[in-house]
Amino acid sequence: MKLTVLGCWAPYPRAGGACSGYLLQSGGFNMLIECGNGVLSNLQKYIDFRHLDAVVVSHLHPDHYLDLYCLRHALAGVRRTDPPLKPLQLYMPSAPQEPFTILSRYTEAFDIVSIESLNRSQKNGRWVHDADLNGNKAGPPVKAFFVQTDHPLPAYAVLIEGPKKFFYSADTKWCDYLPEFAAGADVALCEASVIEEDRKYTSVGHLTARQAGELAKQAGAGRLVITHFWPEYNLEILESEAGTGFGGPVTVAREGLLVDM
């Protein structure tokens, strides 16, 4: 499995950058996690969008999904000349209702599955939803697990199990159950939206960089990658604070970063 960072900024990108977007590949399976502003352009540096097998959007804040509208036009256009190309499976929350309803109309591009409609089971009092992402496709199975986080909109952390385990925190305040959900991840990709000096801003549903490190440490993650940066911050401060929480080296996301698992 390998991860390529397509965008890492929030809620707007630095010059030449993009908001949240991550390409996760396992064998011949290509999965896009988040599709924020500028992500589709960067995606095409690595693969043809026609070769995507699934898209997961953790929540419907603009910096995590707006480029779905660009991807919709791309897919709808090529399906006119390549009719056998099937609509792309898109997993996302069903709320807020307005963007979910609008995106659900684009059946020529997307086969939308709401995360809430997936199979679910209770683990330590929390509902965990799951999906087999690659179905009957050749190659190792890839399974996704979703648990709701603490954020102003319905949002879901994601654990991907294939040949390796990959955890993505999505946007969230500190949640005591997330380290257990992420337990044993080979790579933890965690939002690090706030420096300790500005810790009060975690009240709007985000982690500090140090908390990102603590989450990954408690989960026993093999590697921590931090992301979801406010463009005005000094990333060296975020890296240092995340390292304090993690107790080891931390990788700072940037466009084009490749992480092998």
Q: How far apart are CA 255 and CA 257, in angstroms?
A: 6
User: Which stretch of DSSP H or E encloses residue 146?
Assistant: strand 143-148
Q: How far apart are CA 222 and CA 53, in angstroms?
A: 27
Share of the chain above pLDDT 70, in %: 98
Helix (H, G, I), strand (E, B) or coil at 243: helix
Residue 249, class by beta-carbon neighbours within 10 Å (0-12 exposed, 13-18 middle, 19+ buried)?
exposed
Work out whether strand 156-161 and strand 165-168 pair parallel, antiparallel, or are unpaired: antiparallel
**Number of other CB atoms surrounding residue 256 within 10 Å:** 11
**Domain range for residue 99?**
2-260
The CATH number covering residue 20 comes to 3.60.15.10
Average pLDDT estimate for 198-202: 95
Q: What pLDDT is stored for residue 203 in this prediction?
A: 93
Q: What pLDDT is stored for residue 138 in this prediction?
A: 64
Phi–psi pair at 98, nearest 5 degrees: -60, -55
Q: What pLDDT is stored for residue 80 in this prediction?
A: 86
Amino acid, res. 20: S
Cβ atoms of residues 72 and 106 within 8 Å: yes
Which DSSP state fits 188? E
pLDDT digits (tens, 9 = 90+) for 61-119: 999 999 999 999 999 999 888 878 899 999 999 999 999 999 999 999 999 999 999 99
Share of the chain above pLDDT 90, in %: 92
Residue 105, class by beta-carbon neighbours within 10 Å (0-12 exposed, 13-18 middle, 19+ buried)?
exposed
pLDDT-based confidence at residue 159 (cuts at 50, 70, 90): very high
Q: What pLDDT is stored for residue 89 in this prediction?
A: 96
**Number of other CB atoms surrounding residue 223 within 10 Å:** 18
Cβ atoms of residues 253 and 13 within 8 Å: no
pLDDT digits (tens, 9 = 90+) for 206-227: 999 999 999 999 999 999 999 9
**Total domains present in the chain:** 1
State yes or no: pLDDT of 137 exceeds 70.
no
Average pLDDT estimate for 10-36: 96
